[in-house]
Amino acid sequence: METAIDNFGIKQALEQLGIKDINDGTSTGSRNFASGEILESYSPVDGQLIAKVRQSTKEDYENAIQSAQAAFKTFRMMPAPQRGEIVRQFGQKLRENKEALGKLVSYEMGKSLQEGYGEVQEMIDICDFAVGLSRQLHGLTMHSERPGHRMYEQYHSLGIVGIISAFNFPVAVWSWNTALAWICGDVCVWKPSEKTPICGIACQNIIAEVLKENNLPEGISCLVNGDYTIGELMSKDTRVPLVSATGSTRMGKIVAKTVAERLGKSLLELGGNNAIIVTPDADIKMTVIGAVFGAVGTAGQRCTSTRRLIIHESVYDQVKDAIVKAYGQLRIGNPLDQNNHVGPLIDTDAVKMYSEALEKVKQQGGKLLIEGGVLSGAGYESGCYVKPAIAEADNAYEIVQHETFAPILYLLKYSGEVENAIDLQNGVAQGLSSAIMTTNLREAERFLSVAGSDCGIANVNIGTSGAEIGGAFGGEKETGGGRESGSDAWKVYMRRQTNTINYTDKLPLAQGIKFDL
């Protein structure tokens, strides 16, 4: 069998990214805090072994933390614009390695090649954003009630930022955290998903090169590969003031509870159950494009993937027919082949969850318009390829309330005013991304009002996927409440301090209190 790793430049990409010795667990060109058991990474594209890495033990984790602590003492003293220069250099290295890293992302995770390139571009974009931000880490000044006093607020470096990332965006989410953390003067300890460890090593190799060229301590960026036990160590560790975790709601609740027990800070970006509302005034062509990409992009494995399409009864049949017709044009196969629209799920466990979800749809009364199914035969040897499915359902179904990380789209019907659709959209536990398709200004503004979407992201006439770097990314309710990336998300990576300066020879007390000695 001819495999993808033999074609599409994967071997060359691995070599360029410093991934060597793929069979002995030493697939890294930079310092590796790992001496534990072997972790094998297989591609969902063709089922082939990409490389073997060693997992981090408890002792390895301890070494990484100590390395990060030592580096922080140096890094926090570097002026923020100089830290920005390090991030700028990292962004330039990413530009030079965009094709190689994008191919690795596509091959190890299974997303389309263009999405792989796009993910690396997100890394480049957040670096550019952070470089400018490094000269704008502003505080506030305010008037004191006491004569001859000045008050202001400033932000200081926080310390070690622990990062737990998910497989679906194996490099971008890490960079959203690190680029901001680094310009804030923090150091980072990263646990990538055990499903995409090679992407983590590639990124570590790139930043390690930048740190070495600038004679900076390697502890500024530490990598600890492993399973949930590494995340547990990080969550319990009082030396890690902030843990940023991306993944399932189940995982996030465990992290939140553990970190809160030691009064640490957590930044959580968890599950989504995202909907597009389609009103009678929607542009149907735009709706179909946004809904189909939102539902099948990354094989439905985005936290912002479109799960529900809430359609007004007056245009329901028209939209349904158009969506079903569009699905008939989808090409499923090797994501490195840009002729294909949909690649594989991450592994066979994900395939099992997909199949079980389709069974539950039928058991709970739903109707499958496109039944889906697991693909086999030539080109599908990994066992991870499935057909995107569409089901008519009810918002109250347990399976609709649940996030299934797979390409399953539920069609829901509403009647009456747009408020009824908004109630359906908000009627789930998750609150990440949402959208409305309408040319009616009043409907759009209702959707964006305080009584509208309860999600962290609310879009008009675009889908639920495709957030830009400049805006803060995250959601409410069981999505976790965290914000990453743009806007003022940088503040979570710093500690806030209020300062008062008395420049007189007297010591008046606040609120006019008298205390004479």
pLDDT digits (tens, 9 = 90+) for 142-184: 999 999 999 999 999 999 999 999 999 999 999 999 999 999 9
pLDDT band at 514; cut points 50, 70, 90: confident
pLDDT by residue (tens digit) across 297-325?
Answer: 999 999 999 999 999 999 999 999 999 99
DSSP 5-60: GGSTTHHHHHHHTT---TTTTB--SS-----SSEEEEE-TTT--EEEEEEPP-HHH
Give yes or no for a contact between 214 and 78, defined as CB atoms under 8 angstroms apart.
no
Proportion of the chain above pLDDT 70, given as a percent: 97
Domain boundaries, the chain: 4-270+487-496, 274-474
Proportion of the chain above pLDDT 90, given as a percent: 93
Q: Can you give 321-388 as a three-state secondary structure string?
A: HHHHHHHCCCCECCCCCCCCCECCCCCHHHHHHHHHHHHHHHHCCCEEEECCEECCCCCCCCCCCEEC
What's the rounded Cα separation, in Å, for the pair 274 and 410?
11
State which amino acid sits at residue 220: I
Provide mean pLDDT across the span 444-462: 98
Q: Is the pLDDT of residue 232 over 60?
A: yes
Give yes or no for a contact between 364 and 397, defined as CB atoms under 8 angstroms apart.
yes
pLDDT of residue 31: 54
pLDDT of residue 513: 84
What is the homologous superfamily of the domain 274-474 according to CATH? Aldehyde Dehydrogenase; Chain A, domain 2 (3.40.309.10)
Give yes or no for a contact between 150 and 500, defined as CB atoms under 8 angstroms apart.
yes
Q: Is the pLDDT of residue 58 over 90?
A: yes
What are the catalytic residues? Answer: 269, 303
Cα–Cα distance list, 337 to 95, 332, 340, 374 (Å): 22, 10, 6, 20
Per-chain mean pLDDT for the chain: 95
Give yes or no for a contact between 273 and 429, defined as CB atoms under 8 angstroms apart.
yes
Token duo for residue 138: 């502003």
pLDDT of residue 515: 81
pLDDT of residue 21: 61
Q: Is the pLDDT of residue 28 over 50?
A: no
What's the rounded Cα separation, in Å, for the pair 506 and 503?
9
pLDDT by residue (tens digit) across 418-438?
Answer: 999 999 999 999 999 999 999
**Nearest to 274, CA basis, from 386, 423, 155, 431:** 431
pLDDT of residue 33: 82
Q: Is the pLDDT of residue 444 over 50?
A: yes
Coil vs helix vs strand at 155: strand
pLDDT band at 453; cut points 50, 70, 90: very high
DSSP 122-135: HHHHHHHHHHHHTT
pLDDT band at 69; cut points 50, 70, 90: very high
DSSP 227-293: SHHHHHHHHH-TT-SEEEEES-HHHHHHHHHHHHHTT-EEEEE----EEEEE-TT--HHHHHHHHHH
pLDDT band at 508; cut points 50, 70, 90: confident
Token duo for residue 474: 């995250």
Provide mean pLDDT across the span 355-380: 97
Do the bridges between strand 306-312 and strand 408-414 make them parallel or antiparallel, or are there none, so unpaired?
Answer: parallel
Provide mean pLDDT across the span 394-415: 98
Per CATH, which fold does 4-270+487-496 belong to? Aldehyde Dehydrogenase; Chain A, domain 1 (3.40.605)
CB count, 10 Å around CB of 254?
16
pLDDT of residue 1: 42
pLDDT of residue 27: 47
What's the rounded Cα separation, in Å, for the pair 195 and 191?
11
